[in-house]
Amino acid sequence: MKPKNDMKNSYPGSEKIYVPGKLYNIQVGMRKVNLTDTVKIIDGKRITRHNDPVYIYDTSGAYTDPKIEIDLEKGLPRLRESWITGRNDVERLSEITSQYGRSRTADKSLDPIRFKNVQLPYRAKKGKEITQMYYAKKGIITPEMEYVAIRENLQNEMLGIKSHITPEFVRDEVAAGRAIIPANINHPEAEPMIIGRNFLVKLNTNIGNSALSSGIEEEVDKALWSCRWGGDTLMDLSTGDNIHETREWIIRNCPVPMGTVPIYQALEKVNGKAEGLTWEIYKDTLIEQCEQGVDYFTIHAGVLKAHAELVGERLTGIVSRGGSIMTKWCISHNQENFLYTHFDEICEIVKQYDVALSLGDGMRPGSIHDANDRSQFLELDVLGELTQKAWAHNVQVIIEGPGHVPMQKIRENMDKQLTSCHEAPFYTLGPLTTDIAPGYDHITSAIGAAMIAWYGTAMICYVTPKEHLGLPNREDVRNGVIAYKIAAHAADIAKGHPGAQVRDDALSKARFEFRWKDQFNLSLDPERALEYYKEGSKNDG
């Protein structure tokens, strides 16, 4: 295993800057795009005018900082470790506590693919509460909270742009459950970020190998490029071999929070047979992943046995993999979903590491025909009930959403989520606004994603052109991320996020003045813009 190290390059025309905290000794990374002067000839004289640099929200972490050495075999600097240990409420374990994790560690045959520089995990001290939600409710502003407040504002203060986003506001939103800061104490490499509808819209990318496909290198490569193009979080949905080892590589090198769907790995442990799943195997998987540093878990706890009957009304049944697994389990055992019945225990586990819960939508519609139907909305009510349970444990929660929803039903879906789930952040896959464009579903869904994000969705999960057809390669990840950056940014502008339009205005001015390089450097994908420009010029020449 030798991952490629070609991630180490800067954005063109840009430099990495750090904005210091006022409450804490923190340094918030941003990208500064330096612009050329405007040149005009007035009355035969050459007049130049300075153009202010533009500050851009940067998800690429250390990879674009020329001062930090990158070594994928060592992992990223552990940015948050001192903040975490400084609170005196966690302890370092003397060994990992999941059975599965131990058995993998003991297995010498895995040495060639293993990430070498593994650290022992942290966990809350007995009797201590350590989640960001707990601190927020206690009125405490953590370094993480100040970090995201600075990060969300870019340089608004310097530019004289008023902003509602202060460290106090961040704290209050997290306390109210309207926003989360996914920040497992065992993923101190990640830069803090916030997911909530009163903040910048975030986007998640999915990667992951399947039984027969790509290896660790390719997954790490896609993960890092996802961050470079602008992914705010990353879900590893691997179902193939060596999930545990792949995840370690990704987490140790990942500057953004990472999520998983633990039931996928649990299912691998019982050889793919849903009936074979047990609470014990699942619980061990949760602990295994908590101790590796997964920042949020998708938990399909809202798929109830009673819902299975409603599925007959649908055109496309259950398309959520997690939903389908749990329904199969409920039916074969004639028992209630064990994720639902053990939900309190799940909270008890994850709160010790500050892992957030992403309540999965097992009844997500797989076609516009099934959008906003009974199955979907009944599940949403259950997710609302679970949200309050999790909050009682001070566990941070987001709610997953569809899927396929035609435009005229998007607002209803958003409003229903806010009511049913007590304003917990919504995290939607798309939604796709039509079903007829396989090969282009990054576009069918970017339309829905932009709209639902404007209406209040906090994070949108990308869809690549390969959706429904196959697993994405690196270029598909790029196309998916950029489509979703567009959707998220269009929504930020529509919502009036402070300073969101600065970049648009600077780019448009550059375009109008034929400052091509500035136009490219300010764009979401400078390399692509330049490539098309050259191709177009060749056509023209």
By CB under 8 A, the residues from 366 to 395 that bind a second copy are 366-369
355/450 with CB nearer a second copy: 450
User: Measured between alpha carbons, how far is 24 from 149 in angstroms, rounded to an integer?
Assistant: 12
Minimum CB separation of residue 288 from a second copy in Å reads: 26
Backbone angles phi, psi at 447, to 5 degrees: -60, -50
Q: What are phi and psi of 404, to 5 degrees?
A: -120, 115
Instruction: Mark residues 169-188: x for contact with a second copy by CB under 8 A, - for none.
Output: --------------------
Q: Considering the complex, what minimum distance in angstroms separates the CB of residue 442 from a second copy? A: 8
10 CA to centre of own chain: 22
Residue of 139, 166, 169 lying closest to 153 (CA atoms): 166
434 binds a second copy (CB under 8 A): yes
Q: What would the x/- binding string for a second copy be over residues 389 to 428, using CB under 8 A?
A: ---------------x-xxx--------------------
Q: Tell me, letter by letter, the H, E, C secondary structure of 504-526.
A: HHHHHHHHHCCCHHHHHHHCCCH
Among 212, 309, 312, 334, binds a second copy (CB under 8 A): 212
Instruction: Using the rule CB under 8 A, give the single segment among 128-136, 180-188, 246-254, 515-523 that binds a second copy.
Output: 515-523
For residues 219 and 162, what is the distance between their CA atoms, to the nearest angstrom?
41
User: 382 vs 471, which CB is nearer to a second copy?
Assistant: 471
Tell the smallest beta-carbon distance from residue 93 to a second copy (Å). 38
- Sequence-ordered list of residues with C-beta below 8 angstroms from that of 66, at least 6 positions apart, any chain: 10, 16
Q: Does 15 bind a second copy (CB under 8 A)?
A: no
CB-based contact 380:419 (threshold 8 Å): no
Among the residue ranges 146-154, 272-280, 326-334, 438-446, the one whose residues contact a second copy (CB under 8 A) = 438-446
The CA distance from 371 to 434, in Å, is 11
CA 381 to chain CA centroid, Å, is 24
Radius of gyration over every alpha carbon of the chain, rounded to an integer in angstroms:
23
Report yes or no: 213 and 237 within 8 Å, Cβ to Cβ: no
Please identify, among the stretches 122-130, 165-173, 250-258, 504-512, the one whose residues bind a second copy according to the rule CB under 8 A.
504-512
- Name the one range near a second copy by CB under 8 A: 191-199, 241-249, 294-302, 489-497: 489-497
Q: Which of residues 217-276 bind a second copy (CB under 8 A)?
A: none
Q: Which of 214, 238, 265, 394 binds a second copy (CB under 8 A)?
A: 214
Quick one: which segment of 132-140, 153-161, 339-347, 511-519 binds a second copy (CB under 8 A)? 511-519
Burial of 270 (0-12, 13-18, 19+ CB in 10 A): middle
Which one of the spans 32-40, 43-51, 177-185, 443-451 is the region binding a second copy (CB under 8 A)? Answer: 443-451
Q: Min. distance of Cβ 200 from a second copy in angstroms?
A: 13
Site for a second copy in 86-125 (CB under 8 A): none
Instruction: Give the nearest distance from C-beta 69 to a second copy in angstroms.
Output: 31
Only one of the segments 31-39, 65-73, 386-394, 491-499 lies at the binding site for a second copy (rule: CB under 8 A); that segment is: 491-499
For a second copy, the binding residues in 451-470 under the rule CB under 8 A are: 451, 454, 465-466, 468-470
Residue 134 or 455 with smaller CB distance to a second copy:
455
Q: Which is nearer to a second copy, 272 or 536 (CB)?
A: 536
Residue entry with tokens 């007590």: 422
Query: Considering only 29-37, 249-257, 276-284, 446-454, which stretch makes contact with a second copy by CB under 8 A?
Result: 446-454
Tokens found for residue 217: 């290198």
Task: Give whole-number Cα distances, 500 to 52, 56, 233, 491, in Å.
Answer: 15, 10, 20, 10
Question: Is there a cis peptide before residue 403, judged by omega within 30 degrees of 0?
Answer: yes
The strands making up 54-56's β-sheet, listed across from edge to edge, are 14-20, 27-33, 54-56
**Alpha carbon distance 124, 355 (integer Å):** 12
The only residue of 316, 374, 378, 474 in contact with a second copy, by rule CB under 8 A = 316
Which of 159, 176, 270, 486 forms a contact with a second copy (CB under 8 A)?
486
Cα separations in angstroms, 526 against 17, 532, 533: 19, 10, 11
Q: How far is the CB of 268 from a second copy (least distance, A)?
A: 17
Given 147, 503, 515, 518, the residue binding a second copy (CB under 8 A): 503
Looking at the Cβ atoms of 393 and 503, the one nearer to a second copy is: 503
Shortest CB 509 distance to a second copy, Å: 6
Q: How far is the CB of 180 from a second copy (least distance, A)?
A: 25
- List 92's β-bridge partners, or say none: 122
Specify the stretch interacting with a second copy by CB under 8 A; choose among 88-96, 205-213, 262-270, 271-279: 205-213
Report if residue 505 touches a second copy, rule: CB under 8 A. Answer: yes
Q: Are 327 and 308 in contact (CB under 8 A)?
A: yes
* Shortest distance, position 32 Cβ to a second copy, whole Å: 16
Query: For residue 28, what are the β-bridge partners?
Result: 19
**Residue 243: CB minimum distance to a second copy, A:** 17
* Helical spans, DSSP H, in 421-501: 441-455, 474-495
Contacting residues for 15 by C-beta, under 8 A, at least 6 apart: 31, 32, 34
Residue 449's φ and ψ, nearest 5 degrees, are -65, -40
Q: Does 47 bind a second copy (CB under 8 A)?
A: no
Cα dihedral 414/415/418/421 (nearest 10) = -90
